[in-house]
Structure 1
Amino acid sequence: MPSLLYAVALNPALPPDLLRHLLRAGDTDEELAQALADRPDLTPQQVRRLAGRDQGTAVRLAYGGLLRAPDVDPVTRPLVALALLDEGRGDPAWAGQLARNPDPYVRMRLGSCPGLPDGAADLLAADADTEVLGDLGLHTDRADLLVRLAGNPDAEVRRWVAANEAAPAGLLTTLLTDPDVRVRRQAAGNPTTPGAAAARHVDDHPMVRQQLSEHPGLPAHVYHQLAEDPAPWVRGNLAENPGVDPTLMHRLATDDGCDVRRRLAHHPAIPLDLLERLAVTVRIGPALLPRIADADPAELARLARSPEPRVRMLVARHRTLPAPVRDALADDPDAAVATSVAPHPGLAPTRLAALLDRFGTVLATAVAANPDAPTALLDRIATTEPVPAKALRAIAAHPHAGPEALTRCLASPDERTAEAAAANPALPSEVIAALVRGTWSGGTARPAGPGTSPRQAGETL
């Protein structure tokens, strides 16, 4: 029950009187208080009440935009003040105080806050804690501080400076010659490191070459040299590098490493003919590929007519297909293609029902994930035995889920399914009340007890 209580605390349909009950319960239940802190409809008084409970809850309220700078004392609540500074809504005057805070974690977190005043940054740059210096080195955009930190005797500090894309080009070039391989590695992969300087380290330590293979500005001949590297992770990084040319992509498409070919399929500029070849030689995974996402309508239509179902499946993962292409894929005889297109918005209820008729529970999860799936179809899936656990989970979070289906989801042994149902605003009001009052018994609302009104039962919280 506790996990369902935390979930129902997020339910947008929670009535004000039950919200007040949960706020009282949150006084002694930290997890419940933090769940309530994620609600966007809290009154200023309720926000102050939750913020006063503990610092963790106040931090959530700050990141959620509900807590204001005048409500925060940076001395007693430094982590809350940091959250507001991190969001750009804090008082810049706090930075100097926080830079002197005795807790090194507070000082370290301060170094990553945007718009850090110069005085606070200077204090952090003089800090004795190397973690504080490292975080400042990664995030500051002040060239003078970066040069200063790059001379620190601790390699960890220099490593974070080498990762900072705001570091001056000359400084990054110097860090490429650092005696510590970790520093050289970081500088080699920094996209703002001059490509010509980075290229001179193509024969460096394997760790350096691994990071170098991610650099987008190397000369073409260096990429071709890295394509011969014996380390598959070097070639794998290269396969996703936006700087490689189509000639090298064709070469990598024949690589012995299946992970290299899989990562090449995710390259945003891969030629479509090469992507079609890769689709039948490597398991690409369920994600929409960048090149497919950027394809124009004519390209999508051509790929959707491919005789190879694995190519059609790549197109079916697109979620803004032209209607004729979308509907044609929904009529595809291949179950994998149909599964990929079933969640596409805009599919008519009749087509969704036809998909379920043709493929049964194989497509239940994909159909239940469609944002336009009607209540009747979701009810049908929820009452089909056996219903796939993932399908029930999709129904539990669906805005069209009906009371009967949600009640069944709420009784699911799968915790995520039950929690999604408890947070669904379509959940019947009497069930929401029973969850708050602790009278829910996994399918029914128990009576509150003789002589006790439902309102009184809630008041005991």
Structure 2
Amino acid sequence: MAERYGAYALAGNPAAPADVLLRLLALNDRSITHRLSYHPALTGEVAEAMLIHPERWVRHLLAESFTAAPELRARLLDGPASDAMSVAMGPHPYRIRVEPLPDHAYERLLDHERGNVRYETVGAPSTPDHILVPLAGHADPYFRRAASRRVWHLLGADARSALLADADSDVRTSASLQVMDVDEERTEELVRTLAGDWRLGEVVERGRLGRALAERLVAEEVLLARLALNPTLPAGLAAGLADHENPAVRLAVSARPELSEDERAAIDWRIDPEDRLPGLWWVWNARHDPETLRRCATSAHTWLRRSAASCPGLPQDCVELLAGDADFAVRLLLAEGHPQAPAELLLDLYLHGTHRAVAMLTSRPGFPEAGLAPRFADATDPRARTLALRDPAATPELVERLSRDPDARVRRAAARDPRLPAPRLLELLADPDTVSGAAANPVLPPAEMAALLDREGVPH
């Protein structure tokens, strides 16, 4: 594939005609076909060719494509039986919502002769709620377990009661996990039945604790770092853990909801900038409570501020406050999770952040565009100069100037820009350093696309 950078780029060009894409498909090159499966306009002849392709891996790439229409993916069920598994699993793009299959496709998948196809269907993130709700009464306990886990909030009282009293112990456990935060008896039962199970940590952290159970868990030192996070752990028992030798336990105690700022400060806790911490459940549960979020956003405790920054309902005054937070993770979580994250925050993190997630911030709706050309066209940082091309007001003259930039990344970005004058685009198409950018440019003439494939040895 190394000698076919242009072909790989053409596979993602939104203006590439069907004859060009079909030539690429006929290569049977896995990297190029994978790029082709996410083409912005995967329809018509190309989609049909993938649908009936003799190679199973090509059809499976179509099943995993989030740009392919759900109706198209569903038609794979009319082909070889082995394709059903890929249809059931479906696409799993990062932070992109996938449209569900038609209902008739789920009927076929849930009735499939292979059990793993049925089970992947009920576990797939894109399977809609209205398909899962009726499964609460299904004969297969795996289906009932999936319904209790994923759509408990939509089930009626009778369905919930039936699941909590189910003959299958795994179903009962799954249902009990949904009510343990309000049911002391269920929590106690789960602690007993899940001893040694990985789910015990979730129970001691989120289940409603009776006094006797709480005392026993503390005395036996059962997962103290998670137990100390449980808001229903009596405050006196939690206070007794404030000077525990384990720093993770002290940190958990310091993040409890009932503590004042002075009480938190009195505990020896530490959070390093690179520490990865899950959001605090009690903060997330209060995500619609402006006052609780405001208290967390103004706290001196880093964990509370990080948890508040992850809540889309954070009040605007707190958004502005946390946008200037000294903790990088607070700013990044705010940029990733809040719909009104300031444009300058997104820009600053992109230019100066070192975490790999900052590269994706340019896809956030609030990332700035207007005014970037005069700000960054002459910047010393190549990544900043590339941003100038995002400006709708950038002139063809500026795009051409940046296409001659000393940094190849800037030249490639300019090569993709539709405002680039045609003669310069063809020059970049002939340059090995920039062919991948030029081949992706939607204004590239189809004749030049075909000629590029000829040069790279792609058969007709």
TM-score norm. by structure 2 comes to 0.60
Match of 1:444 in 2: none
The one-letter code sitting in structure 2 at the alignment partner of 1:256 is R
Structure 1 residue 12 displacement after superposition: 0.7
What CA distance in whole angstroms lies between the structure 2 residues aligned with 1:409 and 1:289?
A: 44
Match runs of 1:38-437 below 5 Å: 38-44=38-44, 46-53=46-53, 54=56, 55-60=59-64, 64-68=68-72, 69=74, 72-73=77-78, 76=81, 77-83=83-89, 87-91=100-104, 92-98=106-112, 100-101=113-114, 104-112=115-123, 113=127, 114=129, 115-116=131-132, 122-125=138-141, 138-139=149-150, 141=152, 143=160, 144-145=162-163, 147-148=165-166, 151-152=169-170, 169=183, 171-178=186-193, 180-182=195-197, 183-190=199-206, 193-194=207-208, 203=218, 208-212=223-227, 215=230, 228-234=243-249, 243=257, 247=261, 250-251=264-265, 255-258=269-272, 269=294, 274=299, 289-290=309-310, 294=314, 296=316, 300=320, 345=368, 347-349=370-372, 351-353=374-376, 357=378, 360-361=380-381, 364=384, 367-368=387-388, 370=390, 372=392, 374=394, 376-377=397-398, 379-381=400-402, 383-385=404-406, 387=407, 389=409, 404=424, 422-427=439-444, 429=446, 431-435=448-452, 437=453
Structure 1 residue 22 displacement after superposition: 3.3
Structure 1 residue 255 displacement after superposition: 2.4
Question: Which string of whole-angstrom CA distances, capped at 9 and with x for unpartnered residues, describes residues 101-142 of structure 1?
Answer: 2xx5324313425424757974432x7xxxx99867744746
The one-letter code sitting in structure 2 at the alignment partner of 1:73 is D
What CA distance in whole angstroms lies between the structure 2 residues aligned with 1:213 and 1:378?
A: 57
**8 Å CA contact 1:399, 1:424 repeated in 2:** yes
Q: Structure 1 vs Structure 2: percent identity of aligned residues?
A: 18
The one-letter code sitting in structure 2 at the alignment partner of 1:90 is D
Structure 1 residue 178 displacement after superposition: 2.4
Match of 1:8 in 2: 10
**8 Å CA contact 2:149, 2:178 repeated in 1:** yes
Structure 1 residue 96 displacement after superposition: 4.9
Structure 1 residue 175 displacement after superposition: 0.7
What CA distance in whole angstroms lies between the structure 1 residues aligned with 2:313 and 2:241?
A: 28
Question: What do you get for the CA RMSD once the two structures are aligned?
Answer: 5.9
What CA distance in whole angstroms lies between the structure 2 residues aligned with 1:111 and 1:265?
A: 27
What CA distance in whole angstroms lies between the structure 1 residues aligned with 2:268 and 2:149?
A: 38
What CA distance in whole angstroms lies between the structure 1 residues aligned with 2:181 and 2:79?
A: 31
The one-letter code sitting in structure 2 at the alignment partner of 1:82 is A
What CA distance in whole angstroms lies between the structure 1 residues aligned with 2:238 and 2:274?
A: 14
Structure 1 pair 420–246 and aligned structure 2 pair: CA distance change class (3 A): farther
**8 Å CA contact 1:33, 1:50 repeated in 2:** no
What CA distance in whole angstroms lies between the structure 2 residues aligned with 1:137 and 1:362?
A: 51
Structure 1: state its 5+ residue gaps: 441-447, 449-457
Q: How many residues align?
A: 401
**8 Å CA contact 1:292, 1:315 repeated in 2:** no
The one-letter code sitting in structure 1 at the alignment partner of 2:69 is G
The one-letter code sitting in structure 1 at the alignment partner of 2:193 is D
The one-letter code sitting in structure 1 at the alignment partner of 2:60 is G
TM-score norm. by structure 1 comes to 0.60
**8 Å CA contact 1:397, 1:424 repeated in 2:** yes
**8 Å CA contact 1:199, 1:219 repeated in 2:** yes
What CA distance in whole angstroms lies between the structure 2 residues aligned with 1:265 and 1:211?
A: 13
Q: More deviation in 1-10 or 230-239?
A: 230-239
SS of 1:432 mapped into structure 2: helix
Structure 1 pair 178–189 and aligned structure 2 pair: CA distance change class (3 A): same
What CA distance in whole angstroms lies between the structure 2 residues aligned with 1:365 and 1:253?
A: 47
SS of 1:176 mapped into structure 2: helix
What CA distance in whole angstroms lies between the structure 2 residues aligned with 1:396 and 1:217?
A: 59
Structure 1 pair 396–51 and aligned structure 2 pair: CA distance change class (3 A): same
SS of 1:194 mapped into structure 2: coil
The one-letter code sitting in structure 1 at the alignment partner of 2:84 is P
Structure 2: state its 5+ residue gaps: 91-97, 153-158, 284-292
**Which residue of 20, 23, 37 maps to 1:21?**
23
Structure 1 pair 395–264 and aligned structure 2 pair: CA distance change class (3 A): farther
SS of 1:177 mapped into structure 2: helix
SS of 2:189 mapped into structure 1: helix
Structure 1 residue 39 displacement after superposition: 3.1
The one-letter code sitting in structure 2 at the alignment partner of 1:208 is L
**8 Å CA contact 1:202, 1:222 repeated in 2:** no
Structure 1 residue 352 displacement after superposition: 1.0
What CA distance in whole angstroms lies between the structure 1 residues aligned with 2:373 and 2:99?
A: 49
The one-letter code sitting in structure 1 at the alignment partner of 2:47 is V
SS of 1:109 mapped into structure 2: helix
What CA distance in whole angstroms lies between the structure 2 residues aligned with 1:149 and 1:407?
A: 71
SS of 1:258 mapped into structure 2: coil
Match of 1:452 in 2: none
The one-letter code sitting in structure 2 at the alignment partner of 1:59 is A
